[in-house]
Structures are given as C-alpha cells and as structure tokens.
Amino acid sequence: MTPTTKTDEATLPRVGFAGLGTMGSAMAANVARAGFPLTVWNRTPGRAEAVVALGAAEAASPRDLARASDLVVCCVTDSPQVDEILFGPDGLAQGFRRGALFIDCSTISPAKAREFGSRLHEGGVAMLDAPVSGGSEGAMAGTLTIMVGGEPADLERAQDLLHAMGRTVTHLGPIGSGQVAKAVNQVILCGTYLGVAEGMVLAMKAGMDAESVAAALAGGAAGSWILQNRSGRMIADTYPLGFKIALHRKDLAIALELSRSIGATLPVASLAATLEDGLIANGHGEEDNSALARAIRELSGL
C-alpha cells in the first residue's frame, strides 16, 4: 500500500519507529503519512496493524528495524525499556550501521540519555534526545512540542522527520538537554493542573457556575491550555485519557531526582507527586492527569 503523500520517497531517509503505544502509534502514523519509507516494531504483537495499513513495513526485532533504517525513533515508557531496545538481545545496537541516527522521544532521565548517547557514539551512531509534549491529542494531530538535545548537525538531519510529528522543534543543547526541558515542562504542568483544580473547586464551593467562571477567566492572566481544555473535566469529575497520571508521576520522579542532584527545591511538584501517589493507590493511575482534581475535590468535600 502506498502512503498518502505528495513527497518523493526517494529523497527521504528510511525511518524506523520502535514503540507503538498511545503516543508512538499516532506519531508513527504521521511519519507514514508524510511519505517517509517506514519500518516499525513493537514489543506487543498486533499494535502495528494501523501503521502497516498506511504503508509501513513491520520488523521482527529491534535489530532488524535498525538494519532497515537510517534514522530510528523510539517512544517507550522509561529508561529500562529504552536500554532493552537499544542494547538487549536483538537490540538496535546490533543492527545499526555507522552513521545511523537514534532519536529517543521517550521521557527518561538526562543522565540516562547521556549514557545511551555515549554508548552509541562508541559504535559510530549519533543520538538525539527528543522528548515530546502535547499528549495524545498532539500526537494524533502532529502538533507536538519536541525538545531536543544533541549535535546541531544531527538535528539538521532529523528536521523533516521531527516536523512530521510536531509543530515546534527546539534545540536546547547537548544530549540530555531535551530531557531537562521535559522535566521543567512536567513541573510546570503539575502546578497548572493543581491551580486550575483548586480554582474550579473554589468556584463550585462558592456556589458559582464553574463553567462560566472558567470561560470568563480564559482570556485573562489566568488563561491556559489546561484551563481551556481540562477545566470541564474537573467540573464534571470525569477524566478521559489524554496523558496518564501514572506516566506523569514517573516523569515527576525524574524531575524531583534532578532537583535533588542540583540543589533545587520544588514544593509544588512534591505536593503533586504525593497527591498522584494517593490517586494511583486508589486505582486512578490510568486516568488523565486532570484527575488531580479528584484529590482537591475530595479534600474539599465535593
């Protein structure tokens, strides 16, 4: 099947994509639609069908994926998964040719990103750490924000590919810099989620129409993407998935560990982590991050 694209595939590098979860499957689909010759791999069988229907091939192992690709994107949960895909049995490192480029869109610690980059460099393979923000909606729409660490020349090689997945691509420094920026992103997000949740609870407890209050505030200084797109869920107390609380808690652990290592104090992030721990313990870890409002509502008797 031919991908739906007007781009000449002969001018594009061969792309591999490892990790077809909620984010990765949507990102890979956009790569296929952009016309890149694409091969995919996922640990769980059956997840590749939608992308294969767009014209992608499916590899039997990460090693085979690397052999079929000039650039390989990875989008999985955490550092151990990236390590296994790269360096485990039949890992990418066994199939990479010298001069290949590995682009990790997972959210991992900056230290691990630097470690992986160093190990790949020994084999003549370049790496970019390129975590993303924008949730499942941004992944499907191809409007993700991509924060990149690595060599400028390597980013230049990957620009067209990254712009097939995201709207904003920013180079922030050497390998690990993208992960630091993602940690900052997750810290800011948790504060905003908590602020919106507290504001909506305050409006409801005061007897106000909270939806009208949110609409009134949206154009002012309190306006934010979260106020506009997640306050309704907080008011209704329903939290369909955009980005899992369990994954945000994992990301906060990275940010809090980084803060300890450099002597930064993050009281709001620490509070959010504690509230998220309680939500996860009570079975809400698979809900959207806006479910932080559950904790505020419960503390307020709603």
- The pLDDT score that the predictor gives to residue 8 is 53
pLDDT tops 60 at residue 4: no
- The pLDDT score that the predictor gives to residue 87 is 97
Task: Read off the amino acid at residue 207.
Answer: G
pLDDT digits (tens, 9 = 90+) for 24-76: 999 999 999 999 999 999 998 888 999 999 999 999 999 999 999 999 999 99
118 and 202, same domain (yes or no): no
Query: Which of 157, 174, 191 corresponds to the end of one domain?
Result: 174
The answer as to whether 2 is a domain residue is no
Cα separation values, 200 from 203, 280, 291, Å: 5, 22, 13
135 and 185, same domain (yes or no): no
pLDDT digits (tens, 9 = 90+) for 125-155: 999 999 999 988 899 999 999 999 999 999 9
140 and 196, same domain (yes or no): no
Query: Which of 174, 202, 225 corresponds to the end of one domain?
Result: 174
Query: Which of 139, 174, 209 corresponds to the end of one domain?
Result: 174
CB half-sphere exposure, 179, CA atoms < 13 A? 32
Domain count, the chain: 2
The answer as to whether 284 is a domain residue is yes
User: Cβ-count burial of 240 within 10 angstroms (0-12 exposed, 13-18 middle, 19+ buried)?
Assistant: exposed
Domain hosting 70: range is 9-174
pLDDT tops 70 at residue 78: yes
User: Which CATH number covers residue 270?
Assistant: 1.10.1040.10
- The pLDDT score that the predictor gives to residue 46 is 84
17 and 97, same domain (yes or no): yes
169 and 211, same domain (yes or no): no
**Residue 9's pLDDT band (cuts 50, 70, 90):** low
% residues pLDDT > 70 (the chain): 97
Query: Global pTM?
Result: 0.91
265 and 192, same domain (yes or no): yes
243 and 201, same domain (yes or no): yes
135 and 237, same domain (yes or no): no
Q: What is the mean pLDDT of the chain?
A: 94
- The pLDDT score that the predictor gives to residue 2 is 30
The answer as to whether 254 is a domain residue is yes
The answer as to whether 3 is a domain residue is no
Cα separation values, 24 from 48, 76, 200, 202, Å: 10, 8, 33, 37
Element (H, E) at 39: strand 38-41
pLDDT digits (tens, 9 = 90+) for 92-132: 999 999 999 999 999 999 999 999 999 999 999 999 999 99
Is the separation of the CB atoms in 28 and 86 below 8 Å?
Answer: no
pLDDT tops 60 at residue 197: yes
- The pLDDT score that the predictor gives to residue 242 is 82
- The pLDDT score that the predictor gives to residue 111 is 96
- The pLDDT score that the predictor gives to residue 290 is 95
295 and 186, same domain (yes or no): yes
142 and 225, same domain (yes or no): no
156 and 230, same domain (yes or no): no
**Residue 11's pLDDT band (cuts 50, 70, 90):** confident
Residue positions annotated with a catalytic role: 182
136 and 37, same domain (yes or no): yes
User: Which CATH number covers residue 103?
Assistant: 3.40.50.720
pLDDT digits (tens, 9 = 90+) for 214-271: 999 999 999 999 999 999 999 999 999 888 999 999 999 999 999 999 999 999 999 9
